[in-house]
Chain A
Amino acid sequence: MMQGRHPNWAAPILSAVILVLFLAAWQLAVHDTSPTAGMDPEYAKLMGAAANTGKSAIPTPWDVAVKLWEAVRHPFYDHGPNDKGLGIQLGYSLLRVLLGFGLAAIVAIPAGFLIGMSPLAGAALNPFIQVLKPVSPLAWMPLALYTIKDSNISAIFVIFICAIWPMLMNTAFGVAGVRREWLNVARTLEVSAWRRAIHVILPAAAPTIFTGMRISIGIAWLVIVAAEMLVGGTGIGYFVWNQWNNLSLADIMLGILLIGLVGMALDRLLGLAASAVTWRE
Chain B
Amino acid sequence: MSFQCEMFDPSVVHGQSCGCGSHAVSSNSGEARLGEVVRSAVLRAAFPQAAHRRALLKSLGAATLGAALSQFFPLEMATALAADAPGPLEKPKLKVGFIPITCASPIIMAQPMGFYAKYGLDVEVIKTAGWAVVRDKSLNHEYDASHMLSPMPFAISLGLGSVQQDWQIPAIENINGQAIVLSNALKDRRDPKTWKGLRFGSPFDFSMHNYLLRYYLAEAGLDPDTDVQIRVIPPPEMVANLRAGNIDGFLGPDPVNQRAVFDGLGFIHILSRDIWDGHPCCSFSTSKAFIAENPNTFLALSRAIIDATGYANKAENRKEIADAIAPANYLNQPPIVVEQALTGVFADGLGNVIQQKLRAGFDPFPWESFGVWILTQMQRWGQLKGEVDYAAVAKSVLLATDARTQMEGLGLVAPASNSKTFVVMGKTFDPSKPAEYLASFPIRRS
Please report A residues at the B interface, Cβ cutoff 8 Å.
Answer: 39-40, 42-43, 45-48, 50-52, 57, 79-83, 142, 145-146, 149-151, 229-233, 241-247
**Can you list 15 A-B pairs with a CB-CB distance of less than 8 A?**
A40-B351, A40-B353, A46-B262, A46-B353, A47-B261, A48-B264, A51-B262, A79-B327, A81-B125, A81-B127, A233-B126, A241-B236, A246-B328, A246-B332, A247-B259
B216 in contact (CB, < 8 A): no
Q: Could you tell me the distance in whole angstroms from the C-beta of B113 to the nearest C-beta in chain A?
A: 13
Q: Which of A46, A150, A247 contacts B336 (CB 8 A)?
A: A46
Q: Which residue of B lies closest to A81 (CB)?
A: B124
Alpha-carbon separation in the docked complex, A163 to B407 (Å): 53
Most A CB contacts (10 A, CB to CB) among B139, B239, B327, B332 go to B332
Known: A46-B346, A230-B133, A231-B129. A81 touches B263 (CB 8 A): no
Alpha-carbon separation in the docked complex, A190 to B237 (Å): 65
Known: A81-B126, A244-B237. A48 touches B351 (CB 8 A): no
B329 in contact (CB, < 8 A): yes
Cβ contact within 8 Å between A232 and B124: no
- Interface size of B by Cβ–Cβ distance < 8 Å? 42
Q: Which of B141, B262, B346 contacts A48 (CB 8 A)?
A: B262
Cβ contact within 8 Å between B353 and A82: no
Q: Could you tell me the distance in whole angstroms from the C-beta of B431 to the nearest C-beta in chain A?
A: 35
Cβ contact within 8 Å between A145 and B127: no
Most B CB contacts (10 A, CB to CB) among A233, A243, A245, A246 go to A245
B106 in contact (CB, < 8 A): no
Please report B residues at the A interface, Cβ cutoff 8 Å.
Answer: 100, 111, 124-129, 132-133, 136-137, 139-142, 236-237, 239-240, 243, 259, 261-264, 327-330, 332-334, 336-337, 340, 345-347, 351-353
Alpha-carbon separation in the docked complex, A232 to B100 (Å): 12
Q: Which residue of B lies closest to A57 (CB)?
A: B263
**Top 10 A-B residue pairs of the complex, sorted by shortest distance between their CB atoms:** A51-B264, A83-B329, A245-B236, A46-B347, A80-B329, A232-B129, A149-B140, A82-B127, A48-B262, A83-B328
Cβ contact within 8 Å between A230 and B129: yes
Cβ contact within 8 Å between B127 and A242: yes
Cβ contact within 8 Å between B127 and A42: no
Given contacts A80-B111, A82-B330, A246-B332, 16 further A-B contacts (CB under 8 A): A43-B351, A48-B262, A51-B262, A51-B263, A79-B327, A82-B127, A83-B328, A145-B140, A150-B140, A231-B133, A232-B128, A232-B133, A244-B237, A246-B333, A247-B240, A247-B263
Alpha-carbon separation in the docked complex, A222 to B141 (Å): 29
- Chain A residues whose CB sits within 8 angstroms of the CB of B124 once the complex forms: 81
Q: Which residue of B lies closest to A83 (CB)?
A: B329
- Chain B residues whose CB sits within 8 angstroms of the CB of A47 once the complex forms: 261-262, 264, 347
- Chain A residues whose CB sits within 8 angstroms of the CB of B333 once the complex forms: 245-246
- Chain A residues whose CB sits within 8 angstroms of the CB of B127 once the complex forms: 81-82, 232-233, 242
